[in-house]
Amino acid sequence: MRRVLTTPCERKIPPGTEGNHFYLLLFDGGPRGNPGPGGSGTVVAKVARGTGVYTICWVSSMSYASRTTTNNIAENMGLLMGLRARHRNWWTPMQVIGDCRIIIHQQKTRTLPKATHLTSLYRRSRRLADMLNVTGWNHHRRAHNKMADALANMAVDSRRSVQRHIMGIDSVTS
């Protein structure tokens, strides 16, 4: 996991909100096969406004054994894990970034997914996001989401789930 967290990656950091810092929630997910056993990866980072310096606060690498896990289920689970961590820790203000355009669009426009099996996940995420006052929903390319992607792949390959507060990882400059 340390290798994943210390590997440099490009980030497209959206404009922040008020204050000296803001938090980013980055998520990803996917199965081996679609559907198939899957995993999700989530990263929460505290970003110093105007400097590009960030500190990783929390990571999640969750494995899903079900052979019916679709890409959208895994992506939604990654988002939900991050929102739950945000709820427990009161990191604010927070912006959400993901490489799944449809999930970002659904959350931003409050549009229910067409697939009925995703409705419950959408509603749980949307309810938490409303309660937590998420300040922005941003889509970016997969190439800019390498850390969350690596955590999702680690979960699928290892068939293990891990959630960790990160202490002692040095700040990184983007």
pLDDT tens figures, 27-51: 999 999 999 999 999 999 999 998 8
Residues 93 and 22: beta-carbon distance below 8 Å = yes
Is residue 9 over pLDDT 90? no
Domains and CATH numbers, the chain: 2-173 (3.30.420.10)
* pTM of the shown model: 0.86
User: Tokens at residue 33, please?
Assistant: 């096969």
pLDDT tens figures, 111-164: 999 999 999 999 999 999 999 989 999 999 999 999 999 999 999 999 999 999
Give me the mean pLDDT over the 9-20 stretch: 53
- CA 82 to each of CA 25, 55, 74: distance values in angstroms, whole numbers, following the listed order: 6, 16, 13
Is residue 167 over pLDDT 70? no
Residue with tokens 């079900």: 66
| Distance, CA of 6 to CA of 150 (rounded, Å) | 12
* Sequence letter at residue 15: P
